[in-house]
Amino acid sequence: MEKIIDGKAFAERLRADVGTKVAALKARDGVVPGLAVVLVGEDPASQVYVRNKGKQTVEVGMQSFEHKLPDTTSQEDLMQLIDQLNGDDSVHGILVQLPLPKQIDEKSVINRINPDKDVDGFHLDNVGRLSIGEEGIVPCTPLGCLMMIKDQLGDLSGKHAVIVGRSNIVGKPVAALLLQENCTVVITHSRTVNLEEECRRADILVAAVGRAEMVKGDWVKPGATVIDVGINRIETDEGKTRLVGDVDFASVEPVAGKITPVPGGVGPMTIACLLHNTLQQACRINNVAVPE
Ligand code: NDP
């Protein structure tokens, strides 16, 4: 097996699989999964994400509904749109692109989404389900990490997993998923004492920090599986910018057993998992089995 985990190829396979199942669902039950993406404001990065999501949604045969609202949108108007999408039978997934403008309370908006349509897995119901190990919707980036780790390592029982970062959208859900897989999980953060030592104990090291190239080669146990969630833009000596992860790839790659690159590692899995979640929910909402 290759040392470098090819997230781009993995995501392509997952999207192809979703596409096949979407076609089968349509033929068998007449159901076409629909994903609604809501963008408030003009943030350039968010616009790119939303465009990519819409394009990939259509490519797998689903319906894509894009709602672009001005950055002056009130909380009430956004809530009304969520209510409308909650009641729309052609919509099986609702994603509100974050961050939202400051006049809008993100938590209230996310928790207004019908939990069965919360394909980002951020609604309190789904967060609670994940934390007690009940079936629910798992956030996309953590799900992508888990799929790649399981694909590489198979049974994870007893493995020592160290997560760097405790955010609600990455660190904590990744930890919950690995705990469910019977790993021994350590969650580290900015107040952790001896971070490097904690990392060196990891069979599975997941970095979700948002600090460019922070994890160095001598923090990593030889042979460990290293998953780099970070996306950081840094300036090069030539005055250009380039994307790097939270892991210093040059020093970690020779030590690790497996490693995800940036770009081309975790990143591409996020939208693929969003489409996967939307298919699952279209089947659940219509009370039919996911096609084989
Ligand atoms: P947050 O900023 O929400 O959380 C960062 C976490 O890292 C916090 O828990 C923080 O600790 C911890 N941290 C910060 N500095 C240190 C340090 N010096 N030592 C140890 N821990 C530290 O980030 P996110 O979880 O949202 O994102 C993390 C990275 O993943 C970012 O680069 C982001 O761009 C990327 N990302 C990529 C996605 C993808 O699709 N591939 C999706 C989502 C995120 P504390 O809690 O103590 O402050």
Question: What is the Cα–Cα distance from 39 to 46, expressed in whole angstroms?
Answer: 8
Residues 152 and 255 in one domain: yes
Is residue 89 within 8 Å of residue 76, measured between CB atoms? no
Q: Is 211 in the pocket of ligand 1 (CB under 6 A)?
A: yes
- Classify residue 34 by its DSSP letter: E
Residues 161 and 71 in one domain: no
Atom of ligand 1 nearest to the CA of 265: 41
Residues 44 and 100 in one domain: yes
Please count the helices (runs of H) and the strands (runs of E) in the chain: 10, 10
Say if 6 falls within a structural domain.
no
Say if 135 falls within a structural domain.
no
Q: Is 97 a catalytic residue?
A: yes
CATH number at residue 101: 3.40.50.10860
- Walking along the chain (292 residues) 10 residues at a time, the average pLDDT comes out as 94 98 98 98 93 97 98 98 98 97 97 98 98 97 98 98 98 98 98 98 99 98 98 93 97 98 97 98 98 96
Nearest residue (by CA) to ligand 1, atom 3, is: 167
Range of the domain at 51: 30-115
One-letter amino acid for residue 182 of the chain: N
Strands (E), 7-124: 34-40, 63-69, 93-96
Is residue 196 within 8 Å of residue 219, measured between CB atoms? yes
64: three-class secondary structure by DSSP: strand
Residues 106 and 147 in one domain: no
**What is the 167 CA–ligand 1 centroid distance (Å)?**
6
Q: Is 164 in the pocket of ligand 1 (CB under 6 A)?
A: yes
Q: Is 176 in the pocket of ligand 1 (CB under 6 A)?
A: no
What pLDDT was estimated at residue 288?
98
Question: What is the Cα–Cα distance from 100 to 17, expressed in whole angstroms?
Answer: 32
CATH number at residue 235: 3.40.50.720
Residues 109 and 201 in one domain: no
Exposure on the CB side of residue 214, measured as CA atoms within 13 A: 21
Residues 50 and 150 in one domain: no
Query: C-alpha 233: how far from its chain's center?
Result: 19
Say if 90 falls within a structural domain.
yes
Say if 120 falls within a structural domain.
no
Q: Is 73 in the pocket of ligand 1 (CB under 6 A)?
A: no
Q: Is 207 in the pocket of ligand 1 (CB under 6 A)?
A: no
285: CB partners within 8 A, 6+ apart: 92, 116, 117
**What is the 289 CA–ligand 1 centroid distance (Å)?**
36
What pLDDT was estimated at residue 74?
98
Q: Which of 115, 149, 164 is the last residue of a domain?
A: 115
Q: Is 169 in the pocket of ligand 1 (CB under 6 A)?
A: yes
Say if 64 falls within a structural domain.
yes
Say if 148 falls within a structural domain.
yes
Say if 18 falls within a structural domain.
no
Q: Is 166 in the pocket of ligand 1 (CB under 6 A)?
A: yes
Residues 78 and 160 in one domain: no
What pLDDT was estimated at residue 131?
97
The active-site residue, picked from 21, 53, 117, 172, is 53
What pLDDT was estimated at residue 110?
98
What pLDDT was estimated at residue 123?
98
Model confidence, pTM: 0.97
Residues 189 and 243 in one domain: yes
Is residue 26 within 8 Å of residue 73, measured between CB atoms? no
Continuous segment of H or E residues that includes residue 77 = helix 75-86
Nearest to 273 by CA among 243, 229, 233: 229
Q: Which of 167, 174, 206, 246 should be mutated for ligand 1, with most atoms under 8 A from CB? A: 167
Atom of ligand 1 nearest to the CA of 164: 21
174: three-class secondary structure by DSSP: helix
Residues 55 and 107 in one domain: yes
**What is the 208 CA–ligand 1 centroid distance (Å)?**
5
Residues 145 and 264 in one domain: yes
Indicate the number of domains in the chain. Answer: 2
Q: Is 274 in the pocket of ligand 1 (CB under 6 A)?
A: no
Say if 134 falls within a structural domain.
no
Angle, nearest 10°, between helix axes 140-153 and 7-29?
Answer: 110
Question: What is the Cα–Cα distance from 175 to 157, expressed in whole angstroms?
Answer: 14
**What is the 42 CA–ligand 1 centroid distance (Å)?**
24
What pLDDT was estimated at residue 243?
95
Residues 149 and 186 in one domain: yes
Atom of ligand 1 nearest to the CA of 232: 32
**What is the 285 CA–ligand 1 centroid distance (Å)?**
33
Residues 72 and 151 in one domain: no
One-letter amino acid for residue 255 of the chain: V
**What is the 186 CA–ligand 1 centroid distance (Å)?**
15
